[in-house]
Amino acid sequence: MRQKSQNAIAFNESFKKRTNRQHVLSFAACAHCGTCNDSCHYFLATGDPKMTPAAKMDKIRQVYKAQKDWLGRLMPTWVGAKEIETDEELLELQDIVFGSCTGCRRCTFNCPFGVDTAALVGLARSCLVDLGYAPEGIKVVMKDQWEIGNQMGISKEEYLDTLEWVQEELQEEFGNPDYKVPIDKKGADFVYVVNPREIKYDPRSLQAAFKIFYYAGLDWTMGSEGWDNTNFGLFSGKADLGGHMGNLAYNHAKKLEVKRMIISECGHGLRSTKWEAPNWGKANPLPFEISSLLELMVDLINIGKIVLDPSKNPYPVTYHDPCNLSRSCGITEEPRFCLNRACVDFREMIPNRGDSYCCTGGGGAMSMSEYTGRRLEVAKVKADQIRKTGAAIVATACHNCVDGLSDVIKNYNLRYDYRDSKTPSLLRVCNVCELVAEAMVIPAEIKKTAAKAPQNAIKGKKVLVIDDEPDIIVFIETLLTDAGFKVVTANDGMTGLEKAKTEHPDLITLDITMPGKSGIQFFRELRSSAETANIPVFIITGAIDFRQLMYQKAVQAPDGFMMKPINPEVLLMTVNKILEKSVRNKTVVN
Amino acid sequence: MATVEYEGNTFNVDEDGFIDSFDGWTKEWVQYVKLQEGIDELNEEHWMVINVLQDYYKKNGIAPMVRILSKLTKFKLKHIYELFPSGPGKGACKMAGLPKPTGCV
């Protein structure tokens, strides 16, 4: 056997110490079946077999086999068991775990055994970082988080000065010279914890969030300390740093005696602060709840504390699911709920939710310049996905994704043709809260916009209402008739289909759960017949499982969607919106 | 080290496409970057931001926070983003020949 280098020996030792039960399961369960190949954007874009998740992990799986697997210890060469021997191998490993994986966990969701490649990558990263084998960018950020307490080395003065500036701009916008951004307000309902990028470069998302809090009349505060929700403990695999960052935020929140901590739109920030750091920092149980700004916005919309007018965001908007939110935090419907109410034309990117592709900047990749070339090469997958939506704006709920996607857009020159511009502009990327704040109807305007009467162009249009509950039919019928529409009704799918053909409605409102022909069957048949395929459909349902209509089928998606119980204002607004759009499209065609 | 050719000028750039050394900056570099940044025409205000960034960088060796940039130029946040759609960190700094900001940006 070759003489091992000092670093290799140190790596093997710490690897052995840190391999836990989850790692062992993921190492042992992989059958190299190939299911994960197509799930990895590195493989999809390059077609390089070395870029498949299973192949990437083999470099460390061989160490696991040499150390833990009984067959590997008995007959190492037979099963390819081998510890790391040289510094070159460590560099090669660094290139794999930092430069060829963003820890997006898409492969885990596509793996029949649930092999958690990101956890294995984290294990290898933590062992490498200790030996100095890490991209410079990662080292710089780790140092800043340890020494200064935030990832961009922002001093307390600079932080407070920025908040004061945001306050000044908002005073002007609100027309209220007494407006104050609350800082260290003891006993507030929640403390808002942010991403340093918002302080240092882009406080637009702060302005948006503060505006929402202001008009909703919330009791909240910023913290003068522990305000960074990001955590390079996750990206470096270093639990001690992860615990340190978590505790900075937790301890300050405890001091302020708040009831909740709200995390601004940041994928890994929510995952680390809510789910990982309480364990890393041994801080459980926490005396307050942690949730995302997205969840808070949904509540505010639901209880009517903020009212949105989608016509303020007239351009097509799509949503990119940040990996950490969709695959590690279960946050997928909240942003859609907000965007469907804040924008006129919301379009799904396909695939989406738990099956979304990484923005290509995850896992700390944005801070690793060494790998930018490769990152942008494999971003082809994301670029194609965005291009197909035809959207002008890509909304997302993560600052890292905002920057990752902006790079993708610039590199692949993705543009949208606004009619009034002489050259098409690069697509815009923004946070969900910015569009929500934009759409917000300020209290003085609320009465004026509530349930507007339909425009002349859509007045007298015919709506077919399909629902099995007579009460609901009467309710919707009354609302629509009062608003100037003609209404025909059907109380099951079969009758509905007949009427769709004979009555030629301009719009169909459809319930999903009905006896006999279900709404889903109805919808597919409607879309498959040339006669009825183009009639706009507005789903009104109590069932949540409408998503198969939205993105699993080849047929064109429904034109609108709302959950029961029915909010009359939202119903009318959506009907108007769909009909106006279809009138516009017809005018263009003719 | 990668190089970029633009109208007879050669620039050395790093992996992120930022100019590798502040001393290599020329006005032609700005013209080159503006194409990628989706900026049609450069006006006086763009140049003001670029000059302020460069002065600050020469004195302090780092890029200023957007707060400082606004103080020095008297531009509102919204306006800075209108001038440089990809923002002061990645757009304006790149044009001014400053290094790429650290952290996840």
Q: How many of the other CB atoms lie within 10 Å of CB of B35?
A: 11
Q: Across the interface, which of A144, A162, A399 has its CB nearest the CB of B65?
A: A162
pTM of the model: 0.80
| C-alpha B34, offset from chain centre | 9
DSSP one-letter code for A102: -
Q: Which candidate, A381, A369, A353, A386, places its Cα nearest to that of A552?
A: A353
Residue A486 lies inside a defined structural domain of this protein: yes
The pLDDT of residue A26 is above 50:
yes
Q: Is A146 exposed, middle or buried (CB count within 10 Å of its CB: 0-12, 13-18, 19+)?
A: middle
- Do A243 and A196 reside in the same domain of the chain? yes
Of the residues A439, A469, A486, which one is the last residue of a structural domain?
A439
Backbone φ, ψ for residue A424 (5° rounding): -60, 145
> What's the one-letter identity of residue A322?
P
Section A465-472 average pLDDT? 92
**Lookup: tokens for A462:** 């015919």
Q: Which CATH number does the domain housing residue A483 bear?
A: 3.40.50.2300
Mark yes or no for CB contact B89/A201 under 8 Å: yes
Q: Which candidate, A212, A396, A174, places its Cα nearest to that of A297?
A: A212
DSSP one-letter code for A330: -
Range of the domain at A543: 444-589
Mark yes or no for CB contact B102/A370 under 8 Å: no
Considering only residues A517 and A510, tell me which one the structure prediction assigns the higher pLDDT: A510
Q: How many CB pairs under 8 A join A and B?
A: 98
- Do A154 and A194 reside in the same domain of the chain? yes
Residue A267 lies inside a defined structural domain of this protein: yes
- Do A496 and A561 reside in the same domain of the chain? yes
- Do A269 and A366 reside in the same domain of the chain? no
- Do A505 and A551 reside in the same domain of the chain? yes
Q: Which residue stretches of A323-396 are H helix?
A: 323-328, 333-342, 372-378, 380-389
Under 8 Å between Cβ of A532 and A560: no
Under 8 Å between Cβ of A538 and A510: yes
- The three-class DSSP label of residue A224 is coil
pLDDT in tens, A410-427: 999 999 988 766 778 899
Pairwise CA distance, residues A9 & A15, whole Å: 10
- Do A65 and A92 reside in the same domain of the chain? yes
pLDDT in tens, A285-306: 999 999 999 999 999 999 889 9
Catalytic residue among B23, B74, B104, B105: B104
**In chain B, whose CA is at the least distance from the CA of A403?**
B105
Chain A closest-CA separation from residue B8 CA (Å): 23
Using a CB–CB cut-off of 8 Å, the residues of A that contact B are 137, 140-141, 144, 151-154, 158, 161-162, 165-166, 169, 196-197, 199-204, 207, 230, 361, 364, 366-367, 369-373, 399-400, 403, 406, 410, 415, 422-423, 425-426, 428
Of the residues A380, A407, A439, which one is the last residue of a structural domain?
A439
Residue A142 lies inside a defined structural domain of this protein: no
Mark yes or no for CB contact B102/A367 under 8 Å: yes
Percent of chain A's residues with pLDDT above 90 = 80
Q: Which candidate, A170, A162, A7, places its Cα nearest to that of A91?
A: A7
Q: How confident is the model at residue A452, as a pLDDT? A: 47
> How does the average pLDDT of chain A come out, rounded?
92
Q: Structurally, how many domains does chain A consist of?
A: 4
Query: B103: which chain A residues are within 8 Å (Cβ-Cβ)?
Result: 137, 141, 144, 151-152, 196-197, 200, 366-367
- Do A405 and A456 reside in the same domain of the chain? no
Under 8 Å between Cβ of A141 and A268: no
Collect the ranges in chain B with pLDDT lower than 70.
Answer: 104-105
Look up tokens 């940044």; give the residue.
B37
Pairwise CA distance, residues A451 & A573, whole Å: 6
- Do A159 and A254 reside in the same domain of the chain? yes
- Do A266 and A279 reside in the same domain of the chain? yes
- Do A489 and A578 reside in the same domain of the chain? yes
- Do A283 and A176 reside in the same domain of the chain? yes
Q: Which CATH number does the domain housing residue A94 bear?
A: 1.10.1060
Percent of chain A's residues with pLDDT above 70 = 94
Section A58-65 average pLDDT? 97
Query: A373: which chain B residues are within 8 Å (Cβ-Cβ)?
Result: 15
Residue A139 lies inside a defined structural domain of this protein: no
Pairwise CA distance, residues A578 & A435, whole Å: 20
Distances (CA, A) of A138 to A102, A278, A286: 13, 22, 29
Under 8 Å between Cβ of A574 and A540: no
Residue A55 lies inside a defined structural domain of this protein: yes
Query: B77: which chain A residues are within 8 Å (Cβ-Cβ)?
Result: 165-166, 169, 203-204, 207
> What's the one-letter identity of residue A450?
A
DSSP one-letter code for B2: E
Give yes or no: B104 in active site.
yes
Residue A260 lies inside a defined structural domain of this protein: yes
Domains and CATH numbers, chain B: 2-96 (1.10.10.370)
- Do A76 and A157 reside in the same domain of the chain? no
